[in-house]
Amino acid sequence: MNFLEKRGVDVSQLRALVRTGLRNDLRRSRFLSGTGRKTVHPTRALILVGLFSLMLGVGFAMYAVGARSVLLASIISCSSVMFIAASMILVEYYAIILSPDDFNILGHLPMTSQTYFTGKLSLLLIYILGFASISAIPAAIGFMIRSPFSLWRGAVAFFCMLFAALTAAMLMVLFYTALTRLLPQRPLKYIISFVQVIASFLIYGGYALMPRLVPEHWLTLAWQPALVHLFIPSAWFGALMQVLLGNFESWNLYAAIIGVVIFGNAAYYGLRHLAKNYLMIIAGDRQAAVEATVEKRAAPSIKRNRLPLLFRRPEERIIVTLLSGQFRNDTKFRMAILTIIPLIAMYMFIAIQEDALHDPFIDGSISIADSGLIYFALLLIPLLVKQSIEMSDSHEAAWIFFASPTSLHKLVLAAKRVSYFYFVMPTVVAVTVLFAYFFNHVAHAALHGLTLALLVYFAQQLVFMLKPTVPFSEPRTRGRQGALYAMAFFVGPGAGFAAMILIGKMIYPYPERLPFFYAIMFIFILALDRVIAWQMHRKFTLGSQPKGVAALARVSLPSR
């Protein structure tokens, strides 16, 4: 009897579960979208995440080669893979570990809770270790080829980085799963949303702040660890690497022991305690969902959503109802939207810390360049929001849009307007309020806010023009959200940022140009709105969309 079987895990069942999980994730799946049934390629999203991991790894490989202190280089490399692991769990955890979808299919089959939990955990670790390896291989090569060349050093570095990623993943899984045990089931999904936001702050914040905390000229620094560094998780695995390379200094030993002990405890506690109760947790989650539905059904009167007066068209009312309903009830959607807050907040925090928030009407483009990350993040919001409102676990319910006389292009345009009003606008307003405080000039802050609002709206127009999709009509695929964040950190709307620099240089210093600038922006945006409406009208109404009974047959029935 092996280690797993002793802990109640059936290895043959585990193998079947993992094989099925991978097949489910990596296969193309067909879904309804704006142009009828389409095929989604989940591998593309995974390739993007892989590229992101590879770029991180290559960056840290250069540090590994050049840094004077091997310990510091290894701590930073371990931080990068721990960041990959933690952020993947942050965006995928609910879908993989806590989702009750599998339980609906497999719950009646003779599996122990431990087998079920280990199956889910294995699937998660396969992805995490896969992406961590992509990042760790170049870094390990860097450690190997630094002078003097040592194959053993490279192998140890690779092992320690994977160990670090595994520990980060295990700790986060334990943290979330323990929460599900400790907290009452009913408000759990709301609490998890807020925990998610706090965790996002820690992970993205740590990632954004780390380069700023590292001392200048650290490449040539003979760094000595202090007692306080024992509290940094990546330091444990950097130290483990030192120990495995034969450096038995007391700090290295203490830090390495802490790492190994924490990993051992996490694995033991996870498999021994949480795994045993996992099925109950999932069943409890289902029951909480049923209870919520039953109570809503038993409510004496129908609660009507208060629709803002701004949205009077039928399509806009549909979208308002859909968005508010999804935000209230779909944890995955809520988490995807709420995770935007830390992204903006961290960049604002960094800009404030670095005293980079200056009035661009006085300092011109220099101020904009200094606080560039804020504009970068703001211009990303349309992309993040658009992606979030495309996907849903209930994507098949989108047949209703195709089978009713609703105009699809108006629906997509309504999604653009409503999502801007609900999610983008409040962020721009919040940033403008902060600008007003730091610029010490309300009118300048308001004008700058207006410029931002128009630019972000323009970005949103482009995003919708490039991929018009009926809201909540596409399935969630593994890695898609992660790929989005990879794009958020690497690709981003550089053109929008460049436009901001130009505005700071060519418009802001000349007050007489401002009215013309805003007038042109308004006309441009209105014209683009028309173009999008025409383009979508062509795509959804005049294009390949089947009509009448044929449309119904294709949409509501599978294509066989």
Partner 1 sequence: MIQIDNLFKSYGEKQALRGISFTIQPGEILGFLGPNGAGKSTTVKILTGLLQPDGGIAQVANFDVVREPIEVKRRIGYVPETGAIYESLTAYEYLELVANLQKLAPQIYRKRIDEFLDLFGLADDAQNQIAGFSKGMRQKILISAALLHNPPVLLFDEPLNGIDANSALVFKELLRKLSRQGKTILFCSHILEVVERLCTRLVIINKGQLAAEGTPQAIAQQTGAATLEQAFSMLTGVRDAVAHAEEFVNVLKTMQQ
Asked if residue 23 binds partner 1 (CB under 8 A), the reply is yes
Give the CA distances from residue 542 to residues 510, 535, 547, in Å, rounded to whole numbers and listed in that order.
Answer: 46, 10, 10
Site size for partner 1, by CB under 8 A?
38
Q: Which two tokens stand for residue 188?
A: 């759990």
The answer to whether 416 and 460 have CB atoms below 8 angstroms apart is: yes
**Of 283-291, 304-312, 458-466, 536-544, which segment contacts partner 1 by CB under 8 A?**
283-291
* Interface residue with partner 1, options 7, 51, 59, 107 (CB under 8 A): 107
Apex 466 CA angle, 463 and 469, nearest 5? 85
Q: How far is the CB of 106 from partner 1 (least distance, A)?
A: 7
Segment (H or E) for 31: strand 29-33
Stretch that binds partner 1, among 110-118, 226-234, 301-309, 544-552 (CB under 8 A): 110-118
In 3D space, the residue among 39, 40, 37 whose CA is nearest the CA of residue 544 turns out to be 37
**Residue with smaller CB distance to partner 1, 40 or 507:** 40
Residues 6+ apart with CB under 8 A from 344: 374, 377, 378, 381, 427, 430, 431
239 binds partner 1 (CB under 8 A): no
Interface region with partner 1, contact rule CB under 8 A, candidates 20-28, 305-313, 408-416, 422-430: 20-28
- DSSP for 268-334 reads HHIIIIIHHHHHHHHHHHHHHHHHHHHHHHH-SSPPPPPPPTT--SHHHHHHHHHHHHHHHH-HHHH
For partner 1, the binding residue among 295, 403, 510, 553 (CB under 8 A) is: 295
Position 27 contacts partner 1 (CB under 8 A): yes
DSSP H or E segment with residue 505: helix 494-506
For partner 1, the closer of residues 122 and 287 by Cβ is: 287
Residue 184 within binding range of partner 1, rule CB under 8 A: no
Q: Measured from the CB of residue 334, what is the shortest distance to partner 1 in angstroms?
A: 22
Residues 296-315 that bind partner 1 (CB under 8 A): 298
Closest CB to partner 1 among residues 215, 558: 558
The least CB distance from residue 15 to partner 1, in Å, is 8
Q: Check residue 558 for interaction with partner 1 (CB under 8 A).
A: yes
If one asks whether residue 291 binds partner 1 (CB under 8 A), the answer comes out as yes
Q: Are 269 and 241 in contact (CB under 8 A)?
A: no
In whole angstroms, give the CA distance from residue 399 to residue 393.
Answer: 14
Q: Is 283 in the site for partner 1 (CB under 8 A)?
A: yes
Q: Tokens in use for 394? A: 């209930």
Among 1, 109, 182, 542, binds partner 1 (CB under 8 A): 109
Rounded Cα distance, 492 and 267, in Å: 37
Q: Write out the two tokens for 105.
A: 């299919």
Among 21-29, 249-257, 383-391, 529-537, the segment contacting partner 1 (CB under 8 A)? 21-29
| Residues of span 479-498 touching partner 1 by CB under 8 A | none
Q: Supply the minimum distance, in Å, between the C-beta of residue 204 and partner 1.
A: 32
Of 256, 215, 209, 266, the closest CA to residue 233 belongs to 256
Using rule CB under 8 A, residue 506 touches partner 1: no
On the question of a cis peptide bond just before residue 148, with omega within 30 degrees of 0, the verdict is: yes
Q: Which range of residues in 43-51, 72-80, 293-301, 350-358 is near partner 1 by CB under 8 A? A: 293-301
The span of 222-230, 241-249, 287-295, 493-501 binding partner 1 (CB under 8 A) equals 287-295
> Between the CA of residue 252 and those of 68, 70, 380, 538, what are the distances in Å?
17, 12, 41, 65
- Smallest distance, partner 1 to C-beta of residue 30, A: 5
443 is written with which tokens? 């009118």
Quick one: tokens of 470? 């009926």
Largest CA distance in the chain: 82
Residue 2 within binding range of partner 1, rule CB under 8 A: no
Task: Kindly give, in sequence order, each residue whose CB lies less than 8 Å from that of residue 281, ignoring residues fewer than 6 positions away.
Answer: 98, 177, 180, 181, 274
Binding segment (CB under 8 A) for partner 1, from list 125-133, 282-290, 332-340, 351-359: 282-290
Give the nearer residue to partner 1 in terms of CB position, either 213 or 557. 557
Candidates 1, 3, 6, 12; binder of partner 1 (CB under 8 A) is 12
Residues that bind partner 1 (CB under 8 A): 10, 12-13, 15-17, 19-20, 23-24, 27, 29-30, 101, 103-112, 186, 280, 283, 286-287, 290-291, 294-295, 298, 557-560
